[in-house]
Amino acid sequence: MNILIVEDEKRLSEALAQIMKEQKYTVDVVDNGDDGYDYAVSGQYDIIILDVMLPGKNGLEISRQLRREGLEAPILMLTARDEISDKVTGLDCGADDYMTKPFDTNELLARVRALTRRRGAVDLEEISYGDLILSLDTYDLRCGTKVIHLSFKEFEIMRILMSNPKVYIAKEDLICKVWGALSDAEDNNVEAYISFLRKKLSFLNSKAVISTQRKVGYRIEENAVA
């Protein structure tokens, strides 16, 4: 698989290229937007990893122009800013996914795999609980007609909770499964992600809620009618 990395932060692009090569991907790296566009439009890449802020054309312009040219390769946008508006703009410009720097390289690889799998995928795998459907391919969480995209860690937590309905999952277990046994993630990392997920569930108007049992853990359950 051929990957194009368009990134002007040399240390980041070198690290990314190294990781991709270890996964047996073929990688080209360019450090400015004009070369990025020229390489990408050649059509020889299976996925394009595109920084937003670049010398020359920026990532949003490149993405828009590539789509205008009919290029269909998935584009994963890297943004240094954690602003929803940037993400929305990136996706409006034809990007398929985005990641906010700094990011976890395992997460990046998972996104790359998901994006390349999605092309020509016949049936998307999903799990459901109550009125919720979670796509294991796109990390989208659906409730009725509403859809919201989950970040990788949100997705992992949701997948664990939805796969074990009504069972309390301890914070330590979530840290171990989502962040890794050797990570230095702490309880408040989990709490922060649970709070993101609760906001997303309420955005979706789902009947499902994530409840907390002190000193026991979290579980997903249907909201009792008040």
Applying CB under 5 A, which residues contact Ca ion? 8, 51, 53
Residue 62: CB minimum distance to Ca ion, A: 12
Closer by beta carbon to Ca ion, 16 or else 190 = 16
Residue 75: CB minimum distance to Ca ion, A: 15
- The sign of the dihedral angle between the CA atoms of 194, 200, 202, 206 is negative
Residue 51: CB minimum distance to Ca ion, A: 4
Q: 189-224 as b/e, with b when 16 or more CB fall inside 10 Å?
A: bbeebbeebeebbeebebebbbeeeeeebbbbeeee
> 26 in helix, strand or coil?
strand
Residue 13: CB minimum distance to Ca ion, A: 10
Instruction: Report residue 204 as tokens.
Output: 């979706």
Closer by beta carbon to Ca ion, 51 or else 154 = 51
Closer by beta carbon to Ca ion, 58 or else 65 = 58
Please list the helix, strand and coil fractions of the chain in percent, rounded to the nearest 5, in that order.
40, 25, 35
Closer by beta carbon to Ca ion, 50 or else 201 = 50
Closer by beta carbon to Ca ion, 101 or else 219 = 101
Angle (deg, nearest 10), helices 59-68 and 33-41: 20
Residue 101: CB minimum distance to Ca ion, A: 9
Pair 10, 37: CB distance under 8 Å? no
